[in-house]
Amino acid sequence: MKTMTCQQLGGPCDLAHRGESADDVIHAQDQHLKEAVKAGDDAHQAARKEMKFRWLHPKQSLGWYNDMKSAFAALPED
């Protein structure tokens, strides 16, 4: 297991997401952003828009995805 924060994934807060893979933490971040925006948290709105764009345009977002996979791989195990 490894941990990345909302901020490391492009969000505004320090909420920790744990997972076995980069995909696990990216999906956790997506869910976190959905919930935060739904709850009225304006600070997470910009990050949510960016995440929605990435899901809708995966080829254009491949650079971000590869950067997150590399960052995850470089982290120590928890």
pLDDT of residue 58: 84
Overall number of domains in the chain:
1
pLDDT of residue 65: 93
Contact yes or no for 32/11 (Cβ under 8 A): yes
Span 25-78, pLDDT tens digits: 999 999 999 999 999 999 999 999 999 898 899 888 899 999 999 999 999 998
Span 6-25, pLDDT tens digits: 999 999 999 999 999 999 99
How far, in Å, CA of 26 to CA of 51, rounded?
Answer: 9
């977002």: which residue's tokens?
61
Domain span including residue 63: 2-74
What is this structure's pTM? 0.90
